[in-house]
Amino acid sequence: MKIGAGYIEAASDNLIKFKENIDTKKMQEPSFLMVLTFTESAFQMENGVWVVPIGCLKD
């Protein structure tokens, strides 16, 4: 979880690096990548990573 909008780009880059290191012969590729934040709105970045505010997880 990243606290604010200033960390989204770095978190997204780290998730993409993580995805590139997955051995897809041993496990499936992730179905999506998501940065959980305290921001106001959810959106999908151009690189495919989802940015989702923690408030969207409440029921």
- Whole-angstrom CA distances from 12 to 23, 27, 37 are 20, 21, 12
Is the per-residue pLDDT at 51 higher than 90? Answer: yes
Q: What is the pLDDT of residue 59?
A: 65
- The Cβ of residue 5 has, within 10 Å, a number of other Cβ atoms equal to 12
Confidence at residue 22, expressed as pLDDT on a 0 to 100 scale = 94
Question: Which band of pLDDT confidence, cut at 50, 70 and 90, is reported for residue 40?
Answer: confident
Band (pLDDT 50/70/90 cuts) for residue 1 is low
Number of domains into which the chain is organized:
1
Give this prediction's pTM. 0.84
Q: Provide the total of helices (H) and of strands (E) in the chain, helices listed first.
A: 1, 3
- Helix intervals (H) in 1-59: 8-20
Range of the domain at 10: 5-57
